[in-house]
Amino acid sequence: MMNFNFDTDRQTDQKQAVDVEAASRNKTIRRVITALLVVMIAAILLANVTIVTKQNEYTMVQQFGKIVAVRSDAGLSFKLPFVQSVKSIPKTVLLYDLPISDVITKDKKTMVADSFVLWKVSDPTLFIQTLNGNVSNAEARISTIVYNSMKNVISSLSQAEIISGRDKLAEAIFANIGDSLEQYGVDLVAVETKHLDLPDDNKHAVYERMISERNNIAAAYQAEGESEAKKIRTETDKAISIKISEAQANAEKLIAEGEAQYMQILAEAYADQSRADFYTFVRALDAAKASLKGSDKTLILSKDSPIAQIFYNID
């Protein structure tokens, strides 16, 4: 009987020890769960209180749908939890690829335009108020406005003017848009045309016609150049003829002056008898020399010949 009571007491002690251990473990679990709940609640509160603004965005603080603050500088700020909400809006320049569209020129020719725009949010408050801060809504408005501007500009130009001056087309489209996007808090940075071409079905025919027109223009320029060249050649030939005539006239004048001087020298020579005799002697020798040609060196002169008189008169 004593042994049975001892076993019962030992089992009771073991059961109490297990109960104490279980109670301690449950208490520890409750503490851990409580700590986790506190941490979760603190994290939720912290997440609903802090605002992290990045370098490339605006942070809009709204309370019951009304904007109460705008954060534009990067950093950490705070708001009222559960009452105020936060909306982020991009601050960098964005690229929007416009849908490919057909446009009609001044001469009723169809062209295919493929363009893109660069834009950014300039007024985040106005951007939220008009476009609900939605980039897709902004791109839809940009697409409509840019297409209308493109259509107006291209419809005022002929196809040839567009093809030859397409480098200035983007500037004209941008200028035509003006400040129409400012009402949405959007600033249009640039409009660029990636591709502006003819539809495939009439591209070849238009190119052939343009080639023919350019050939006609080239032929007109060539004819004009040949006419100018002929005119220049005629004027040059005329100028040369005048120069030659003047040169010949000057030559004739110089020859006449030379002959006059020659005759004057002769007259002066014959005016003096001694000079006249010497001149006659020299002329006679020249004549004799001219007669002595060939193998026969015999000179037969009559006594009355001027050459013979030279020898007869030698004393």
**pLDDT (tens digit, 9 = 90+) per residue, 120-169?**
999 988 988 899 888 999 999 999 999 999 999 989 888 888 877 777 88
Q: Identify the three-state secondary structure at position 34.
A: helix
**Among the listed ranges 25-34, 175-184, 252-261, 299-308, which one has the minimum average pLDDT value?**
299-308
Residue 285 near residue 292, CB atoms below 8 Å: no
The whole model's pTM is what?
A: 0.51
Q: What is the gyration radius of the CA atoms in the chain, in angstroms? A: 59
CA 39, CA 208: separation in Å to the nearest integer? 78
Amino acid letter, residue 110: T
Give 113's strand partners: 101, 196
Q: What is the pLDDT of residues 209-246, one digit of tens each?
A: 778 888 888 888 888 888 889 889 888 988 898 989 88
Residue written as token pair 């500009």? 153
Confidence check: pLDDT of 36 > 70:
yes
Confidence check: pLDDT of 6 > 60:
no
* Band of residue 2 on the pLDDT scale cut at 50, 70, 90: very low
Q: What are phi and psi of 254, to 5 degrees?
A: -65, -40
Give 90's strand partners: 57
**Among the listed ranges 29-38, 67-76, 159-168, 176-185, which one has the minimum average pLDDT value?**
67-76
Supply the pLDDT for residue 169: 85
Mean pLDDT of 299-308: 69
Greatest mean pLDDT among 31-35, 153-157, 278-282? 153-157
Two tokens, residue 42: 């603190």
Consecutive H or E run containing 79: none
Residue 64 gets which letter from DSSP?
A: T
Q: What is the DSSP string of 181-243?
A: TGGGTEEEEEEEEEEEE--TTTHHHHHHHHHHHHHHHHHHHHHHHHHHHHHHHHHHHHHHHHH
Amino acid letter, residue 248: Q
Strands, DSSP E only, in the chain? 50-53, 57-63, 66-71, 75-78, 84-90, 94-97, 101-104, 110-121, 186-197
Two tokens, residue 235: 């004027």
Q: How far apart, in Å, are the Cα atoms of 70 and each of 25, 92, 204?
A: 51, 16, 56
CA 249, CA 261: separation in Å to the nearest integer? 18
Q: Is 41 left (phi over 0), alpha (psi -120 to 50) or beta?
A: alpha
CA 131, CA 126: separation in Å to the nearest integer? 8
Give all strands of the β-sheet with 57-63 in edge-to-edge order. Answer: 66-71, 57-63, 84-90
